[in-house]
């Protein structure tokens, strides 16, 4: 009888452990790139103040999922996502290299704006082809959602002057190195707020969507993604992600 009771107690304890394991969601790592299309500002630890990380907080809290955010060089980040080391991200254009391993949200959660800056007396750029035969400053580490490839193609005869960072790019522009600067809306606004440039204007070259990315190996991934998408619809994303204007383009 005692042996039977011990078996029943052990079975009951195992059932409790199993139920607890089922009830507690797996902790998720949100991987994001260590260069930002959103900001140049850093916290006390030197980490970029990525607004998408701030957006992730209410997203995961409402979903009841424990999480942590970690930045990686872009190549390492994509490798971690493909291998399932990191199981979540929010990325531009839902890269095709992740589609086999990851779920992609149906709707975007944000929009990234790429701007071309110029002097008011210089013609605005409204399409990539307008850059042909022109000179432009770009920032190392960005592909500009495929735009850099076009700039680097010889037949387009675009003089490209790479800058090491956002601040250097606008300093080069201010010193007359090139007629145009290609940059993302948020970091450009931060630089120009600190160091204004007289008679600068911009045009929007491209707006590209940002999607939720969830690795398929995360437990109950499809339902979790559906839940995250529903929560995302309820969040006031503009509070985190509204790109500021600097100077309206002069036509």
Mean pLDDT confidence for 159-164: 96
Q: What percent of the chain has pLDDT over 90?
A: 61
Q: Is residue 7 part of a domain?
A: no
pLDDT tens digits, 82-96: 999 999 999 887 667
Same domain? For 95 and 121 the reply is: no
pLDDT value at position 14?
A: 52
pLDDT value at position 6?
A: 46
Same domain? For 99 and 219 the reply is: yes
Q: Is residue 251 part of a domain?
A: no
Same domain? For 84 and 123 the reply is: no
| Residue of higher predicted confidence among 200 and 34 | 200
Instruction: Give the side-chain half-sphere CA count within 13 A for 170.
Output: 22
Q: Is residue 202 part of a domain?
A: yes
Q: Is residue 5 part of a domain?
A: no
* E strand intervals along 20-122: 28-33, 67-72, 88-92, 102-104, 110-119
**Residue in the structure block whose two tokens are 């999922």:** 65
- DSSP character for 42? B
Mean pLDDT confidence for 105-111: 92
pLDDT value at position 2?
A: 52
Q: Is residue 139 part of a domain?
A: yes
Q: Is residue 215 part of a domain?
A: yes
pLDDT value at position 17?
A: 41
Same domain? For 197 and 237 the reply is: no
- Contact criterion met (CB below 8 Å) for 112 and 36: no
Same domain? For 227 and 149 the reply is: no
Which range is least confidently modeled, 41-45, 79-83, 228-232?
41-45
pLDDT value at position 30?
A: 96
Mean pLDDT confidence for 46-65: 89
Same domain? For 197 and 125 the reply is: yes
Residue 165 belongs to domain with CATH number: 3.40.190.10
Mean pLDDT confidence for 19-26: 61
Total number of domains in the chain: 2
- Cα angle 185, 187, 189; round to 5: 65
Same domain? For 137 and 196 the reply is: yes
pLDDT value at position 62?
A: 95
Q: Is residue 187 part of a domain?
A: yes
Same domain? For 186 and 230 the reply is: no
Same domain? For 88 and 164 the reply is: no
Other CB atoms within 10 A of residue 46 CB: 6
Pairing of strands 110-119, 180-184: antiparallel
Residue 124 confidence (pLDDT) above 60 = yes
Q: Is residue 183 part of a domain?
A: yes
pTM of the model: 0.76
Same domain? For 127 and 149 the reply is: yes
> Which two structure tokens, joined as six digits, stand for 131?
């850059």
Residue range of the domain that includes 201:
113-207
Residue 245 confidence (pLDDT) above 60 = no
Specify the DSSP element, H or E, that contains 223. helix 221-234
């Amino acid at each position: 009888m005692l042996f039977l009771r011990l078996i029943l107690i052990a079975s009951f304890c195992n059932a409790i452990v199993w139920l607890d394991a089922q009830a507690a969601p797996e902790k998720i790592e949100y991987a994001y790139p260590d260069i930002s299309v959103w900001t140049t500002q850093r916290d006390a630890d030197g980490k970029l103040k990525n607004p998408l990380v701030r957006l992730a907080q209410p997203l995961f809290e409402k979903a009841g999922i424990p999480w942590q955010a970690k930045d990686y060089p872009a190549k390492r980040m994509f490798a971690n996502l493909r291998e399932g080391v990191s199981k979540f991200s929010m990325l531009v254009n839902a890269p095709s290299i992740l589609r086999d391993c990851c779920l992609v949200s149906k709707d975007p959660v944000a929009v990234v704006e790429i701007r071309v800056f110029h002097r008011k007396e210089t013609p605005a750029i409204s399409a990539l082809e307008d850059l042909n035969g022109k000179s432009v400053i770009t920032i190392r580490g960005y592909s500009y959602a495929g735009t850099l490839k076009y700039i680097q193609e010889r037949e387009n005869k675009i003089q490209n002057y790479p800058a090491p960072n956002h601040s250097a790019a606008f300093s080069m522009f201010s010193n007359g190195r090139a007629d145009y600067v290609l940059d993302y809306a948020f970091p450009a606004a931060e630089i120009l707020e600190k160091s204004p440039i007289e008679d600068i204007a911009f045009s929007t070259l491209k707006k590209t969507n940002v999607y939720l990315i969830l690795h398929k190996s995360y437990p109950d991934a499809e339902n979790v993604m559906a839940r995250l998408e529903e929560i995302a619809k309820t969040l006031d994303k503009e509070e985190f992600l509204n790109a500021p204007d600097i100077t309206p383009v002069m036509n």
